[in-house]
Chains A and B, each alone.
Chain A
């Protein structure tokens, strides 16, 4: 259907066409997602391929200095007259070798440790001569450790490795090695480049000149080195560590120091999806509720927030600043405060129920009955979120060029038509990214659930969770209350996958729909 056909449709047909094209767009968006993933891997492979090709060809074309720098870093630079730079590369190489000898190799060797038992009982069956492989860390032989229920007698903690430390230092070693590899490649490139400059009969840059580039051409390196290092140590490293944790049996029974954990492969994922009825049924229920919650929370806030903004920004309405400020104030009070107040107010014996009781209404279990609690959290979330949406869409409404309305009025459009033709498309167009982020934000909405219901009500068939728990609050409880670190890591990975695919699909869809966006 081209634009002319579309323009001839009646309003009803247009709407149904839009809805239809939204849903028919979903498969395309999913295909787009896979294409994007494919493109990503293609990019990675061609990047690696080109890197290898360059690495080889530089060696083939290199002079003796360049070739030497493939083994002794900085040799090429030094021989081509860049002594300072060469020394820096050499220092990096020596530092890395020292690091690996004293530190890295130890933890690489410990990451897959073996424990030998002359006799061990697992689930009341006694086995003779058992080797358990894949332990994170080393244990002295015949150490009195029960592999399922943890340590029995701990006589000397120092002889037992701390699995956490081993895993953490292992990840650290890998990251340092990647960084060193990058420096190593730079070293070969730099040697080859200075060789070329020499061949042209020029002089390569001096160390001082090269360093001063970090204040100009390479200023981005100077600006990014500290933030990226911070992110690597305190964000990337913990995330990788956590992802690894999902493949171990790091739980209450296997807590270092004192106990060790070991690699269990995909067992935790299998537990969550099917093999452990407790965990998998809890996961299924929480996943469904999380998605239901995210959809309701996002769209109720979005729609009512925009309606509120439209009311406040209606031309004839006076005291705009007053209305807006009233709502902004409620949004400004820290959420943990407002939500805890809501919890107090809505409690079974709280003021609201007390007042209702005085009027003869029986106690309403706002937070203590499953369905009621779910409705309550969505409604309270509207109370929390609508001011934000109002705030955002108010700003957008004021940004719509006034002459659009002017010309619409001259053409005889009424208020409703102005809304459907100008206001709504405009707002929807600009807020699509906001819609995506708020959907992802609601999947991760810890505050509203945790402070209001604490995840409850919690029937016994839920594994360490309650009926209003989202995946993230479950994750929090698993980490802080029941020390099921491996399970928490699995949940974290699943949340990441949901958010990432959701964002990518909607991103692809909004990219596709932008082409047919019409402002007329």
Chain B
């Protein structure tokens, strides 16, 4: 009797030790993972400019103020229209592009995923396979060609070109929404069909009202896309800095010739942009998981 209880307490002690090790590892990992972000926030308030080390020595709000109203080194304000890095103009550009491409992409994704999930037609498999093949081309492989097409449509260096690029490809990103539609019981469709509803009516009256979460999810993810894209903007806008979106603008701040001057301003701009995106992502994480595991986890 005593034997087993001592064995049990030994087992418990071993277990406790294992847990303590795990806590220690987790704590160290969290520190490693969080510290660059803490450093970013600290640097955004740093008054030391490019010489900000691990910890800023002086603190200021100046970096944030300079995003809206830039000034020379001696403090003379630079008129907004002459600003080298018009941060809020870029934010506004990105917002417009994001809203428009979110609306269009959401519509397209809903249409495609509904068709592939609920409707059965002859060439369905062919279309699905073609979509898979198209998806395997590197996304920006054909951007020079896309740029030429935009040029012909008169959309060279235009924000609408970005809207089109972001939303025209949306048709390939139907998997998550399709997975969601797949979970809606087909008996609903069948019952409606017996009652004489057309597939069009089934879509509008039965499926769409049940799909609010996936509509919100699709709209938010497609809204977030343009905030992080650098590749297409950098090629499409070239040196037309009026039409930059935020990712390209911030990247330009860190280029050789402006890095010394705008190092901490970049940090401030990055913090401002990261806050809303981070919040959106944390809200959306459940769906993100469902998306990449191909619906293996139902959100």
Contacts and interface: CB of A to CB of B under 8 A. Distances in A.
Interface stretch (A9-17, A292-300, A333-341): A333-341
A334 B273 contact: yes
A223 B115 contact: yes
Contact of B36 (A235, A241, A342): A342
Contact of B289 (A330, A395, A447): A395
A506 interface: no
Interface in A218-240: 218-220, 222-224, 226-228, 230-231, 233-239
A479 B251 contact: no
B274 A334 contact: yes
A485 B144 contact: yes
B294 interface: yes
Contacts of B290: 395
A333 B292 contact: no
A183 interface: no
Interface residues of B, number: 88
Contact of A231 (B114, B115, B134, B254): B134
A224 B165 CA distance: 18
Nearest to A244: B145
A326 B30 contact: yes
Given A226-B108, A391-B289, A334 B134 contact: no
User: At the interface, is chain A mostly helix, strand, loop or mixed?
Assistant: helix
A338 B37 contact: yes
Interface stretch (B74-82, B214-222, B280-288): B280-288
Interface residues of A, number: 92
B111 to A, nearest CB: 4
B127 A224 contact: yes
Contacts of A344: 254, 263
Given A332-B278, A476-B140, A337 B250 contact: yes
B194 interface: no
Contact of A323 (B15, B30, B141): B30
B297 A351 contact: no
A219 B200 contact: yes
A343 B253 CA distance: 14
A231 B168 contact: yes
Contacts of B203: 219, 223
Which 7 pairs across A and B sit closest by C-beta, in order of nearness?
A: A492-B141, A332-B281, A234-B168, A238-B142, A238-B145, A227-B171, A215-B200
Interface of B: 15, 19, 22-23, 25-26, 29-30, 32-34, 36-37, 39-40, 52-54, 108, 111-112, 114-115, 119, 121, 124, 127, 133-134, 136-146, 148-149, 152, 164-165, 167-172, 198-201, 203, 227-228, 230-231, 234-235, 247, 250-251, 254, 263, 266-267, 270, 273-274, 277-282, 285-286, 288-290, 292-294, 296-297
Interface of A: 164-165, 168, 212, 215-220, 222-224, 226-228, 230-231, 233-239, 241-242, 245, 308, 311-312, 314, 316-317, 323, 325-338, 340-345, 351-352, 354-355, 383, 387, 391-392, 394-396, 399, 430-431, 433-434, 437, 440, 444, 446-447, 450-451, 472, 475-476, 479-480, 485, 488-489, 492, 495-496, 499-500, 503
